């Protein structure tokens, strides 16, 4: 009759193998957790960076729309009525003006936001018209998203 001896070499090898596997699995679990949590923190950091630097990035990407030639004297700016008249000339009849955003710097364009009823929906489309405040000429317009409309970035 065979009596199981816990100190036999077969049992010791089996225990060492299980211990080795458990240690490796714990290390793999730790590394995987660190990589996953690191990726989550990187995504959070990028999202925060875009929310903070979004307006500057938007200005850099859309510089033909948002930047104008700086004039020597700020007194050469056109009147508000001239600027809004230029914007109204490109806004469709069904468009409703929503906001006027004054330039933050001397080389920024004046921004007029307006809404149009979206086709086939009970929502509005939001558009922005950019006007050169020195010449009262439209530099361009774009369809916006909720993020760009309410101060976010891209």
Q: What is the pTM of this model?
A: 0.64
Q: How far apart are CA 17 and CA 55, in angstroms?
A: 58
User: pLDDT tens digits for 40-98?
Assistant: 999 999 888 888 887 788 888 888 888 888 777 666 788 888 998 999 999 888 888 88
Distances (CA, A) of 52 to 42, 94, 122: 15, 34, 32
Tokens of 107: 């080389």
Contact at 8 Å (CB) between 132 and 139? yes
Judging by beta carbons within 10 Å of its beta carbon (0-12, 13-18, 19+), is residue 147 exposed, middle or buried? Answer: middle
Domain ranges of the chain: 8-61, 65-149
């Amino acid at each position: 009759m065979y009596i199981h001896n816990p100190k036999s070499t077969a049992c010791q090898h089996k225990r060492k193998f299980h211990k080795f596997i458990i240690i490796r699995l714990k290390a793999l679990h730790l590394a995987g957790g660190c990589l996953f949590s690191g990726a989550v923190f990187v995504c959070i950091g990028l999202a925060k960076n875009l929310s903070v630097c979004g307006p500057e990035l938007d200005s850099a990407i859309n510089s033909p729309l948002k930047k104008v030639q700086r004039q020597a004297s700020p007194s050469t700016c056109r009147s508000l009525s001239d600027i809004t008249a230029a914007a109204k000339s490109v806004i469709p009849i069904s468009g409703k003006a929503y906001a006027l955003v004054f330039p933050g710097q001397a080389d920024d364009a004046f921004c007029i936001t307006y809404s149009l009823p979206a086709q086939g929906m009970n929502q509005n489309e939001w558009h922005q018209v950019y006007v050169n405040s020195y010449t009262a000429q439209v530099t361009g317009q774009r369809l916006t998203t909720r993020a760009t409309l309410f101060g976010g970035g891209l």
